[in-house]
Structure 1
Amino acid sequence: MPRKAKSAIQQMMDGNPNNRTSKELYKRAKNEKKLEFGNEKLIPPNWLSSGAKNVFKQIVDTYKDTSFLNDADLITLAQYADWYSEYKACNTRLKKNGRSVDGKPSGDLRLKLSISAELDRLAKELGLTPASRASLAIHLNSDSNSDTADHDEFDDEFDDGFENKLRSIK
């Protein structure tokens, strides 16, 4: 999984290790703010089975105190829930019919392996694996943790500081 790029604010807090100019960091920080999405539409699509809808709701509930999932993730989340539901159905058929037919792996076993790979890929995108979750601490909402409550004030000071610095550069 590719490493997630640091935000402009994170780069500044880390001492700007990528040596970006103040103008570049300010522009990036403003663009990152423009790309923030809401999460009002994170409801399971009607085409999902009831089991898949339950998985969808469970994941949304898991991330409810973060800003990690948003409306832009709807399709990926629905795909994961749908594939998960299909994976469970394959397991049920395998238990009933067995893993092999005439000494060869059954179609359900091959399908299960294929679905497993897709689930793994989507799980990484959605932060559902231990490794992908390790990088999610930066996405906590400020009101969910008192230690991060001061960052909203920092953001305002950050914007003002950049604007003043940009004026002095020009």
Structure 2
Amino acid sequence: MTRGVKPQVIKPQSPVEIGNPPSWLGKEGKREWRRIAPILNERMTITTGDLGILESYCTAIGTMREAQRLLNRDGLVLNGKKHPAIGTLNAAQTTARLAANELGLTPVSRSRPAIRDTGDDDDGDNPLAV
């Protein structure tokens, strides 16, 4: 069995400006898209390849909010059993959290050097800095 050839140079993608949300997103997903697009645009870290993660994040947030609305309306127990929206809510929360981490929207992910912009190229007191 042969393996593929490793590319000599991997070209980095350029950041893209996030525009309007896709038309197929639900109301809550579009609202979330519009809320975070300015944050991500300011950071200039999102590429065309990242737009799918952004769509997943916004879809999950929309699903999460809809499931929570159903739980608020019906309660946690429906017809003597655990409300089915609980499972939907949990899955959507997990997806949203994972996508938010990938997009740099969580406190831990924002502490990564690629997200954190100090705006300062000074090496400070680092004796090993050249």
1:118 to 70, 95, 110: 95
Q: Does structure 2 retain, via aligned residues, the 8 Å contact 1:53–1:81?
A: yes
- SS of the aligned residue for 2:42 comes to coil
2:46 to 69, 72, 80: 69
Tell me how far 1:104 sits from its aligned partner: 2.3
Partner of 1:100: 77
1:128 paired residue number = 105
Deviation for aligned residue 1:93? 0.7
Q: Looking at CA atoms only, which structure, 1 or 2, has the larger radius of gyration?
A: 1
Matched, 1:89 2:66: yes
Distance 1:99 1:113 in 2: 13
Counterpart CA distance in 1 for 2:106 and 2:83 is 28
Residues 37 and 54 of structure 1: CA distance in aligned 2, closer, same or farther (over 3 Å): same
CA RMSD of the aligned region, Å?
Answer: 2.6
Map residues 1-170 of structure 1 onto 2, 5 A cutoff.
Answer: 31=10, 34-40=11-17, 42-135=19-112, 137-139=113-115, 145=119, 147-148=120-121
Structure 2: distance between partners of 1:55 and 1:73: 16
Residues 43, 57 of structure 1: 8 Å contact kept: yes
The structure with more helix, counted as a fraction of residues:
1
**Residue 127 of structure 2: aligned partner:** none
Aligned to 1:24: none
CA contact (8 A) 1:63 1:69 kept: yes
- Residues 36 and 57 (structure 1 numbering): CA distance in 2 closer, same or farther, change over 3 Å? same
Separation in 2, partners of 1:36, 1:42: 17
Q: Counterpart amino acid of 1:138? A: A
Q: Which amino acid aligns with 1:117?
A: T
Amino acid corresponding to residue 45 of structure 1 in structure 2? P
Q: Mind listing any 5+ residue stretches in structure 2 that lack a counterpart?
A: 1-7, 122-130
CA pair 93-140 structure 1, distance change in 2 beyond 3 A = same
Is the 8 Å Cα contact of residues 17 and 41 (structure 2) preserved in structure 1? no
Identity, % of aligned pairs? 23
Q: 1:98 to 1:134 in 2, by over 3 A?
A: same
1:140, 1:113 → 2: CA distance?
30
